[in-house]
């Protein structure tokens, strides 16, 4: 995030997957998902996919249903830009480093440690956290603090459905997340760019908000490693860095948890990090953003909360200039 590189480094026009091909396929998959939900499957697929049949390897296709949560004012960002222009500092600070190096990360098996103020804690597999029979697609805009944005067809479940499984107690006012760290698989963590592991946190009401997604896929497929396999957050009204990737620990805590970017540069990155065109980053304006995948000059005005006005009530008691 501290390093600025030319747009779409390593991605050429020829790499871009035509969106109509995806959209056609998406229609078919959504219909398949609806059949599974209503039990109208044919004899050969009568058995509902069970959790352990969930595809886990990169490129595996997911069954999902569509929801009403979708951006309407913008085209989908081409698949190859979504998977080729990434921030995942554990694999390097260059935008093309994650696509180049994240394959080295083992995502199956994957365990997540859950601890803190909850009735149920312990170590769990991804399938214990996410109901793969209840996946939905949500087309959200992800707006990075670096003033660029993408519109991505994510697949996942509401984060609330994951957290409720652990029955957090009333002492759990925040939830903290950590990313998996492995020096032999993640070349970026050999350098002290951040104090590893990557850490993020949400207030409990933000975490339980229906817009907050635990994503396991995008563009109809299992998440590519560079996008945060096997599961990552998508918090669409906050700057992209709140959407922590490859989660390996979830902690229910009483006090505001430390987060990586706030710890690294508290003057630049706060705990809340709500998209706010009126509050500039100390080194650049946040009033507009480059649209990734639409050429070097395509821009749009940044909207408060990234356009997700329904979250405004969460912050009615908060000064968003101070609590950035």
Instruction: Give first-to-last CA distance, the chain, whole Å.
Output: 17
* Binding of ligand MTE by 245 (CB under 6 A): yes
Question: Taking contact as CB under 6 A, which single stretch among the options 13-21, 236-244, 281-289, 309-317 is the one that binds ligand MTE?
Answer: 236-244
Cβ atoms of 231 and 129 within 8 Å: the answer is yes
* Binding of ligand MTE by 96 (CB under 6 A): no
* Binding of ligand MTE by 176 (CB under 6 A): no
Question: Taking contact as CB under 6 A, which single stretch among the options 26-34, 85-93, 112-120, 281-289 is the one that binds ligand MTE?
Answer: 85-93
* CB proximity list for 51: less than 8 A, separation 6 or greater: 127, 131, 132, 133
* Binding of ligand MTE by 1 (CB under 6 A): yes
CA pair distance 166, 252, nearest whole angstrom: 10
- 263 token code pair: 């710890």
Per-residue CA distances from 81 to 73, 147, 189, 222, 238 (Å): 19, 16, 24, 16, 21
Q: What angle do CA 314, 315, 321 make, to 5 degrees?
A: 155
Pick between residue 54 and residue 247 the one whose CB is nearest to ligand MTE.
Answer: 247
Closest approach of ligand MTE to the CB of residue 211, in Å: 17
Closest approach of ligand MTE to the CB of residue 227, in Å: 4
Pick between residue 1 and residue 118 the one whose CB is nearest to ligand MTE.
Answer: 1
Question: Taking contact as CB under 6 A, which single stretch among the options 124-132, 244-252, 268-276, 297-305 is the one that binds ligand MTE?
Answer: 244-252
- 302 token code pair: 């940044």
* Binding of ligand MTE by 77 (CB under 6 A): no
CA pair distance 152, 220, nearest whole angstrom: 11
- Supply the Cα-derived Rg of the chain in whole angstroms: 19
Pick between residue 66 and residue 90 the one whose CB is nearest to ligand MTE.
Answer: 90
CA-closest candidate to residue 156, choices 26, 37, 67, 32: 67
Binding residues among 33-62 for ligand MTE as defined by CB under 6 A: none
- 193 token code pair: 């760019």
* Binding of ligand MTE by 86 (CB under 6 A): yes
Pick between residue 37 and residue 281 the one whose CB is nearest to ligand MTE.
Answer: 281
Q: How is residue 92 annotated by DSSP?
A: -
Binding residues among 299-318 for ligand MTE as defined by CB under 6 A: none
CA-closest candidate to residue 59, choices 185, 186, 225: 225
Handedness of CA 143, 16, 57, 153 (dihedral sign): positive
Instruction: Choose, by CB under 6 A, the member of 63, 66, 76, 87 that binds ligand MTE.
Output: 87
Question: Taking contact as CB under 6 A, which single stretch among the options 39-47, 109-117, 203-211, 235-243 is the one that binds ligand MTE?
Answer: 235-243
Q: Which uninterrupted H or E stretch holds 154?
A: strand 148-158
Closest approach of ligand MTE to the CB of residue 206, in Å: 16
Question: Taking contact as CB under 6 A, which single stretch among the options 15-23, 24-32, 81-89, 161-169 is the one that binds ligand MTE?
Answer: 81-89
Pick between residue 39 and residue 192 the one whose CB is nearest to ligand MTE.
Answer: 192
**Binding site residues, ligand MTE, CB under 6 A:** 1, 86-90, 142, 144, 179, 198, 227-228, 240-241, 243-246
């Amino acid at each position: 995030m501290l390093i600025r590189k030319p747009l779409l480094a390593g991605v050429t026009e020829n790499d871009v997957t035509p969106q109509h091909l995806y959209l056609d396929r998406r229609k078919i998959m959504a219909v398949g998902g609806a059949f599974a939900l209503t039990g109208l499957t044919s004899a050969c697929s009568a058995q509902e996919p069970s959790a352990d049949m969930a595809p886990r390897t990169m490129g595996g296709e997911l069954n999902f249903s569509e929801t009403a949560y979708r951006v309407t004012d913008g085209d989908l960002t081409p698949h190859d830009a979504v998977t080729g222009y990434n921030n995942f500092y554990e694999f390097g600070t260059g935008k093309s480093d994650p696509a180049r190096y994240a394959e080295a990360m083992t995502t199956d098996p994957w365990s997540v440690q859950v601890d803190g103020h909850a009735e149920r804690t312990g170590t769990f597999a991804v399938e214990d956290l996410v109901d793969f029979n209840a996946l939905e697609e949500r087309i959200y805009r992800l707006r990075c603090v670096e003033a660029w944005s993408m519109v991505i067809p994510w697949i996942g479940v509401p984060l609330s459905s994951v957290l409720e499984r652990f029955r957090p107690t009333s002492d759990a006012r925040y939830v903290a997340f950590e990313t998996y760290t492995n020096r032999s698989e993640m070349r970026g963590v050999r350098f002290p760019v951040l104090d590893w592991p990557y850490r993020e946190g949400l207030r409990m009401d933000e975490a339980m908000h229906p817009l907050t997604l635990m994503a396991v896929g995008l563009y109809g497929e299992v998440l590519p490693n560079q996008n945060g396999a096997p599961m990552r957050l998508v918090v669409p009204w906050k700057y992209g860095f709140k959407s922590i990737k490859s989660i390996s620990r979830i902690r229910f805590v009483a006090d505001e948890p430390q987060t990586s970017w706030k710890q690294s540069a508290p003057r630049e990155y706060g705990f809340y990090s709500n998209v706010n065109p009126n509050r500039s980053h100390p080194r650049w304006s946040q009033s507009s953003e480059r649209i990734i995948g639409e050429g070097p000059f395509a821009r749009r005005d940044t909207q408060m909360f990234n356009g997700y006005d329904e979250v405004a009530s969460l912050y009615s008691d908060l000064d968003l200039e101070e609590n950035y």
